[in-house]
Structure 1
Amino acid sequence: MGVGKTTVGQVLAERLGTTFRDTDTDIVTAAGKEISEIFIDEGEPHFRELERQAVRTAVAEHPGVLALGGGAVLDEDTRALLSGRPVVFLEMGVAAAVKRTGLDAPRPLLAVNPRQRWRELMEQRRPLYTEVARAVVSTEDRTPDDVADAVLDVLELKNA
């Protein structure tokens, strides 16, 4: 959360001469409401099902750069779908997360004790992120352009 997936993804798409798509945006568009409202109105399980469908559709339809929501890897089928693809895990520590988001943004999973909950989520998700990722790139103390450079380097697309 707050790592810069959307911003970096847009920079990468521009540099690669392709399009960008964000599955969180797809979910909001399809549901007609913000993710925080989906969590409140229908609950997390319903949101996760929408997320599974959005990722499945996006991977099948979109040939460009794709940003997935931070919890998408919780689904085993999604992890299998991502296997072998050029997935990059953008990471940062809690101090950087606080600096970037203040951990007070409308993020339903961080509603109570955001710093502790962020750490718990990362402990749960980090092994799943690294399972599907071809590479890990830190976003700490880097501009989106610097992160995009690092992603292109680790995917060996620098001269693409």
Structure 2
Amino acid sequence: MTVLNDMYQYDLRILRWCVKSRYHQKFISCVRAVSRTGDGYMQVLLPVLIAIGSQSVNFFLLALFAFAIERPIYFILKNILKRRRPPDIVPNFSCLVQPSDKFSFPSGHTMAAFLLAGLVVSELGLIALPIYFWASAVGASRVILGVHFPSDILAGATLGSVMLLGVI
């Protein structure tokens, strides 16, 4: 139990450090916008654009298959593990956006973003590597907005990356 308590304490320290920047309104507007790009629109738009650009539906079908597996796994994990969100655990803490569901572990935004990033890099090669900056920014935005602990993001990134190995 000590290991879990230590992990929680590290999570809290990193969370508190990340939310210090929440007082700069222009920064928060940018963070909200980045977080919204992880709402699922990119997971549809990017595969469609790549399929149109390559004049092949293979990438779109691969992405469709990958997310058809990813979304149920995300949902099952969240509802089995039932980790409460930071505002529900940390006294006098609030989030800056309304989360789409009740639980925080793993981060679905981050899981989907890293899966998409991996799919795009596997399709387009190293030229697409900067998409991992976007995926990382989506994960960081979720912590800064107060809806996830850092370990939720780490788990989401890991799961999304591991799932990529199963579909390509």
Is the TM value for this pair above 0.5?
Answer: no
TM-score under structure 1 normalisation? 0.29
TM-score by length of structure 2 reads: 0.28
Q: Which has the higher helix share?
A: 2
Higher strand proportion, which one? 1
The structure whose Rg is larger is 2
